[in-house]
Chain A
Amino acid sequence: MLLLALPLVALGAAPSFYGAAFIGSGGAATLYSVSSTGTATAIGPIGFRQVGAMDVSSGGTLYGIGLNGSGTSVLITINTTTGAGTLVAPVTGGGWGTGSPAQDISFRPSDGKLFAYQQGTIYTINTTTGAATPVGADGVGFPNGNGIAFSGSTLYYAGSNTLYTINQSTGAATSVAALTFPPAFGTLGPRSPAMKFDPATNTLWAIVFSGFGSPQTSLGTVNTTTGAVTFVGGTQVGIDGLSLAVAPPPTTSGVPTMSWPVLAGLALLLAGLGSLLAKQAQAL
């Protein structure tokens, strides 16, 4: 079985993604680079199992939730060059299923808080301690699919064949539209285990599975008004609840107060003005 979790890594007209894939429940996960057409290229082993939920923080760090060697749910950071994962902390508390990974995670853009979906409940996760705090049950149970993604201040959730919004105070899900999948995705219960929103193109991207055991796996985009899912291309085959993490683009610019030549110029100006005024002051 193969699990896939994708985070967008660059913004622009043609975004690219990272994907975490594993074969079999509890299988070792591998980080992939995934193009906007769905083509996946292996980067390297993550070193953790069943990493099915990933997202990038506003600071550009790729986070994931998976299982360690003893089957405990853990929060990790992932090196996007080598694929290697580094343990942050076990995810515990608030009724979190410590032997299960998250189905998907997403950072809230406004304050960088990490939200997670696990088996019908929405949590927030402390990215330093791994502490899980329950927001609340979504009220739709634990269907197939279960991708979540922030689009601006709205948290979307894809349950089997319905797109919902999630109340970030209570966890309650509100239906937005039925998800409609064209036949290109496959006809065996298509659903989205991973979603992420690209603000640069204003597009909600989704991984779509069809079938079980060795499901057909595709990349698509979701119309958040009508629920229509558009086929983009095939990608890594996967199974089980997966996640697709959205990308950080980070364009970060330093803003020096002033360049050294200007600073030197200001020093000369102050020296000139100061000496002139000092002379006048003494002459008074």
Chain B
Amino acid sequence: MRWVRSLLHRQDLEDRLDKELRFHFESQVQDHIARGMTEDTARRRVRMEFGGLDHIKDECRDQRPLAWLVDLRQDLSVALRGFGRSPGFAAVCVITLGVTIGANTTVFSLLHTLVLHSLPYAEPDRLTVLWTDDPKHDTATEGVSLANFEDWRRLNRTFDAMEIFVRTNDRQLTLSGQETPERVQIAAVSTGLFRLLGVAPIRGRMFTEEEQEKRLDVVLISERLWTNHFSHAGHIMARKLELNGKPVEIVGVLPGEFQFPYWNTDIWFPYTSFFNHNHTKISKIPVGRYNDWLGVVGRLKPRISIDQARADMARVASILAQEHPEAPKDFAGFGVTVLPIHEQHYGSFLRPALWILFGAVIAVLLIGCSNVGSLLLARAENRIQEFAVRRSLGAGSSRLIRQLLAESALLALAAAFIGLGLAQIGLRMAVQIADSSIPRLDRVEIHGLILLFSLAIAVGTALLCGCFPAWRIRRDSDNVLQGRRGTAGNKTRYALNGLVVCQVALAMVLCTVAGLLLRSFLMVNAAPLGYKPEQMLIFDLVNRSYGFASPREGQAHGIRVAREVIERMQSLPGVTGVAYASELFLERHPDGAVIIDGIERSDVPFTTSSVSRDFFSVLGVRLVSGRFLLPEEELDSRQRAAIINETMARHFWPNQDPVGRTFGRENRPWTIVGVVEDMRLRGREKKPVAHAFLPAGKNPWQPRILVRTQKDPVQLVAAIRNEVRRVDQGAVVHRLMSVEKHLDQMQAPRTLQASLVGIFSILAIGLAVFGSYSVLQYATAQRAREFGIRAAMGATASGLMRLVLRRGMAVAAVGIAIGLLASFWLTHLLAGLLYGVSPLDGTTFAGSAVLLILALAAASLAPAYRSSRANPVDCLRQE
């Protein structure tokens, strides 16, 4: 209870302490008087004997329980008062640390969600995805045949288990039997896959081996589909779904964060049932060794590295190659690619991009900390006098250190508060920039541990630098009290200059990196698209393929619907043109020999798409030579007229006019009537490939429709959906969005990275400039007397200014030089992320250096100017 009292009744305690000591004092005085002293002499004497009364009281207080807490309160209020006296200093420290903590927390949270802890599987580090390596077609991720998979499983020595999924990059079915049919992403997997990944359904069950064996139409659905369509029904068992007009049975629901093998998968089939839904007829499962339609997931044995697995699979591949020498010419071979599972999910761009961000943010953290450090050091140097006085008045050095700790803690706490707010804003911004095109980004949240980590670093810095004066006082308080500025002042100056050099060097590296990324970003955006993406909408019209007596009838219906939709689009107000095409975003090169001008060639195949005649005019594509298709050529594909792009022209007919030449595969060749500019339809970064545009004819089926609008295309979204519904209830408008948004989504990771690194580098420059300014300011203030003397001896204002400027720029130059060297050494790590810019791009390096020099020169100007105004009289009077 006593400690409660010591907290609650502090004043009471103080009074009693005072009373007790005063009693002692008075008694002693009385004794002296009794021995014959006068009262005055007695009092003086006792006062001397007592020494510092406050000191005794302080030591008594220290004996109280929870004395530290009381002290803390006192320390904090003293610190607050101190900051109140120099609000600028406090604000700058808090803001610098806050921004640093905020940036750190943002990036670490992104990293944590997307890279470190992202995948909702058991022991994701041991999970790999295996593909066939196909150097012939320039891809390392070709599919795997069922026969090969079974041999892999049998022959490998490094995997605990292997399971399969059907490689269906973008396979959708129509969820029919509801008012507005929608397209849902489907996947097909082996039953063991869920077990291998360590995933269990949140409702219902997995499908069984038997169901897989019998190719039953049973499915697992996503949590999203469940909540949107069935949650009100409560019980999952024996629920039916209608897919492409066919009933399938739901057996279970998978947890929301499970999205394998593809993002946004809503429905999982047993892999055997996959072909039940391939078009309208049930087809056989391809079991041949050269039918590559599967992807393989493998769980590594414990403590097996991915390189060991790669070596093991290379061994398996050589065995298979020996066993099967009769492989067809077009077969990819038996080479195996083993990838960590996260690469399957995030691709190879996002992860390195995030690591670059990580580096950038660490640099900002270091700069921010050293900045605050130098601020505290400079302030500490100025406070040494104050501390020396306090110490000589009886404050113990532990008490002084506590005081400094309290100040640092206060700064760090305020900074943490700001940082947390900034991190929240930062994450929201990141989500917005990426705009749902980066998987799982919407799940990002601030991680408490990460916040603590940043906070710890900030507090550490504050403590380290904040306690410097206490340490100095211990060593040479006498010097300080006598007004001597010893060598320690110089040491502080060296330390400060060192910190500035580090800051500038880091800012330099960051600036170069950001410059390179920014240039890549600009290059990507400046890459000629070959068409005008503004004010254009694109969507897939997916026709109903079920409920017809024969596939032919379904197709006829689809063509009718498509034609009518296109007609109606054309008459919509605000629409200036409509075009359609098939396979516009085709990723794969079709197999087979290429025949050019009647001669078979084996090099670079080309891709094709069928387009309507007004395709080029609606997209605004420039004709390079020849002419566009004539109306009769469009309608009658027997005329075999085609248009090719420049890449194809350059490849097959270098330095010749390809108009009038022919190309084709096994069937009748096409005659080239025109050459158009290269178009980047698959994203700004994808280099154009050789491509031929064939006439779509008058029978569009499952077309991809492009609508050119007068104004903001988004306004037409609802109208388009309405028109389609009016034509056919069963038709689905899929992936309707503006072409610009489509392009933006494809380069979201790059945009996110460029903007974040850009922000960080601006932050870094700002901090470095500020740091160099405050250090120079401090240094000139320290040398005020010297400047005064110089002025008295006849130094001119400009001479003094030059003196300071030279000093500031010398430090900056060292920092920039170190930064440039580090950049030379580091930027090659970026090579894979750059586009159209060399990692040692001279313009970027020079530009960054010049930018920093200018910024730092500007930072030196104010202190330089101030020193040039040095007044000898004032300076001497101050002493």
Pairing of A with B: no
Chain B residues at the A interface, C-beta cutoff of 8 Å: none
Chain A residues at the B interface, C-beta cutoff of 8 Å: none
